[in-house]
Amino acid sequence: MHTVELTLDPALDGQVRSVWQRLHAAGLPSLATHRHPTNRPHLTLAAADRLTPEVTTALAGLPVEAVLDGLIFFERAVVWRVAATDALRDLQAEVWRALTGTERNPQHAPDAWTPHISLALRAKDHSRYAAELRDLPVARGRLVQARTYDSAMRTVTALS
């Protein structure tokens, strides 16, 4: 699979990394310990079996403002919710449409997509995360660049 991901401006990236470290320091699994060189805070817009040339055009709306506000607990993940502004929803929908004709992950269909930044994967006890992050502030910044992650090759390539 190939993802289309947005990376964060340096200040917002640093805020996410500080939360990763905070969780790690509290003895909780977090992305702070994920050592693959491609690991960095990002927001995934879509994933498909291949990318189309139209994806680059669809990303013309970058950069977009980002507001991280609140936790979401998925089955085994803890994530920082990203406010679904009109600009972000429009950009994501454009990327989804640009991937027409590919096998796309249905979790990224515009009506199903939940914008978020991952904090921890394989999280077992959500209550411990909720307690540790009970004072998590609102974070503001911008989503500035796009990249793709190739899960077969485990590499990233800039898209914008």
What per-residue confidence (pLDDT) applies to 38? Answer: 84
Percent of the chain with pLDDT strictly greater than 90: 92
The pTM (predicted TM-score) of the whole model is 0.95
What per-residue confidence (pLDDT) applies to 112? Answer: 97
Of the ranges 36-40, 113-117, 125-129, which one carries the lowest mean pLDDT score?
36-40
How many helices, marked H, and strands, marked E, lie in the chain? 4, 7
Would you say domain 2-158 falls under CATH 1.20.1530.20? no
pLDDT exceeds cutoff 80 at 79: yes
Neighbours of 73 (CB within 10 A): 14
Residue boundaries of the structural domains of the chain: 2-158
Q: How far apart are CA 49 and CA 60, in angstroms?
A: 22
Q: How far apart are CA 22 and CA 42, in angstroms?
A: 18
Please report how many Cα atoms fall inside a 13 Å half-sphere around the Cα of residue 30, on the Cβ side.
24
The amino acid that residue 75 corresponds to is E
pLDDT exceeds cutoff 90 at 73: yes
Is the CB of residue 119 less than 8 Å from the CB of residue 31?
yes
